[in-house]
Amino acid sequence: MVNEVLNGWLKQSSRTRQKDADVVRPHCHVSNGKCILYGRLGGGGKRTTITVDEKLLAEAKEFSGVENTSDVIRRALTLLVQHEAAQRLIMLGGSAPDLEAPPRRRWNPDGTWEGNPK
C-alpha cells in the first residue's frame, strides 16, 4: 500500500503534490531505538513517536522479509488487530446455541447449484 501511494505521489507534478493535503510522503526514521513515523496516507495516517526494541525490530524484519520499518510496524499493527478480533469471535463461541446454520450452496461441475435456498 505504501509503495502504491509513493508511486502515485511521485508521478504527480510538484504543484499537485503541494496542493494535495491528504497525501504526504510517508517515511520512517530510526535512531536510538525510536521509530518516528512521518506522513499521512489518504488523511488517515498519524505522525507518532514510539520506542522500539532494536533487536525485536531487526528480528521482525528478518522473519517477515520486510525491510522498511514503517511497513513492519504497519504489518504488526494489522496482525494485532486481526488477532484480537479473532479472540473476540472465540469468546462469542456458544453464545447463541439456538442459532440455525445459514443455507449453503455450491456450484456442481455441470453448472447447477447444489442445495436449494428457502
State how far the Cα of 17 lies from the Cα of 11, in Å rounded to an integer: 9
Above 60 in pLDDT, residue 109?
A: yes
State how far the Cα of 96 lies from the Cα of 99, in Å rounded to an integer: 6
Domain that holds residue 75: 68-93
pLDDT, averaged across the chain: 74
- The answer as to whether 76 is a domain residue is yes
Q: Residue by residue, what is the 3-state secondary structure of 6-39?
A: HHHHHHCCHHHHHHCCCCEEEEEEEECCEEEEEE
- The answer as to whether 44 is a domain residue is no
User: How buried is 76 (Cβ within 10 angstroms: 0-12 exposed, 13-18 middle, 19+ buried)?
Assistant: middle
Q: Which of 11-20, 42-51, 85-94 has the highest mean pLDDT?
A: 85-94
Count of domains for the chain: 1
- The answer as to whether 20 is a domain residue is no
- The answer as to whether 58 is a domain residue is no
pTM for the full predicted model: 0.49
Above 50 in pLDDT, residue 2?
A: no
- The answer as to whether 83 is a domain residue is yes
Above 70 in pLDDT, residue 37?
A: no
DSSP-derived 3-state class of residue 55: helix
